[in-house]
Chains A and B, each alone.
Chain A
């Protein structure tokens, strides 16, 4: 998993460098960086065995709380 994260991190850094060179708008760089950094942090947490509760669990809990599913 760590190796895969490293590959994805390299791809992301390459893209961000291209954005800075091409003077891309702040919104694009910020959105890209936010998604990439969030993914890499989550990936790192999963790889070290500290998996946070997943969106599937949150969605299930929300649907249970409003009584849609038992």
Chain B
């Protein structure tokens, strides 16, 4: 494994940026309507626990990346097969974010620019960042991620005159079921996707901070989502939120006399860029590990080419994209985000107990 090291603060910024990612474009909690805040809280608590599970897996397997953990616990053959599936999963995720970003840009800002052009320009910048190394990506995120909450607050201040503070009432108007469904969707997107960080965790310079940093970034992202939800619902109302395609974008264009839309686009560039960079890094490092390539940079261009084509190939239109993200993604993610990590956690705990027993017997 390469010797790149990242600090706790850099990891925190990376994770927060990743969690923010494209969640603003495809909002998984809209189905809960005015109870969305409850879904965010439930999903956020679940997400914090999930991230803690991923951090524990990494802490129990020190200095091993995800591919090495898979191989050490499940054997070379099964480990490599699962690693290959994860390469697909991360590549797929990177393509989805690229497509979300491209569709958003061509729908709201660059109406006459072809989708492919937006995606390729964004992708070339990202491959440059990934090839520069994870240390560079984390340093950039340390500078750029703090901009996200600042912009969210700026937009909120701008629309302070158009608030209806009772918009999220009545409570549980449609029962608890839509809230649970939305909370689960919020858990899988974005929290479960942080499984890609199992490839980043070994680079952390102070490993004792791993669990704390993961939990803190999950809680910060939840807080920020909650803030944005209350801002949007009090400005637009629950009915409009349910009907609209890009809710935060509409909120940002509501401000009279000033156009804050570009600021919102910057938020997406930062969050989406970090998310794609992490996914591409995870996929190429895993693939390099499987084929014994040594350096992941040898494969980034090929994987990115595939990501670009896949992002255009995967959906015919944005409605298909929204439908898939809401109805298929949460179930498709179960083995990758819950089942396999849970098995790895149990095997890691078992191996640790075994090692402790052997150690005490020797003494």
Contacts and interface: CB of A to CB of B under 8 A. Distances in A.
A55 B324 CA distance: 11
B147 interface: no
A28 B298 contact: yes
Contact of A69 (B116, B302, B306, B327): B327
Contact of B293 (A15, A27, A59, A69): A27
Contact of A42 (B287, B293, B309): B309
Interface residues of A, number: 32
A12 to B, nearest CB: 6
Contact of B313 (A19, A27, A40, A46): A46
B195 interface: no
Contacts of A12: 301-302, 305
A11 B291 CA distance: 21
A1 to B, nearest CB: 5
A4 interface: yes
Given A8-B308, A56-B314, A1 B301 contact: no
B315 A56 contact: yes
Contacts of A39: 302, 305-306, 308-310
- Is the interface on chain B under 10, 10 to 19, 20 to 34, or 35 or more residues? 20 to 34
B120 interface: yes
A17 interface: no
B117 A4 contact: yes
A40 B305 contact: yes
Contact of B306 (A11, A38, A56, A59): A38
A28 B293 CA distance: 6
Nearest to A44: B309
Contacts of B302: 12, 15, 31-32, 35-36, 39
B328 A27 contact: no
B308 A59 contact: no
A8 B327 CA distance: 33
A38 B303 CA distance: 11
Interface string B92-133: 100000000000000000000010110010000000000000
B332 interface: yes
B22 to A, nearest CB: 16
A65 interface: no
Interface string A1-36: 100100110011001000100001101100110011
A63 B299 contact: no
A17 B303 CA distance: 17
B165 interface: no
A48 interface: no
A19 to B, nearest CB: 7
A65 to B, nearest CB: 13
Interface string B282-308: 000001000111000011011101101
Residue of A51, A52, A56, A63 with most chain B CB atoms under a 10 A cut-off: A56
Contacts of B114: 1
A11 B314 contact: no
Nearest to B331: A68
B320 interface: yes
B308 A4 contact: yes
A40 B314 CA distance: 15
- Which 9 pairs, one residue from A and one from B, show the smallest C-beta to C-beta distance? A35-B302, A39-B306, A39-B305, A43-B309, A39-B309, A27-B291, A8-B305, A36-B302, A32-B302
20 contacts: A4-B120, A7-B120, A11-B305, A12-B305, A24-B298, A32-B298, A32-B302, A35-B299, A35-B302, A36-B302, A36-B305, A40-B309, A43-B308, A43-B312, A46-B309, A52-B313, A54-B314, A59-B328, A69-B327, A69-B331
Given A24-B298, A42-B313, A68-B331, 4 more contacts: A1-B114, A36-B306, A54-B314, A55-B92
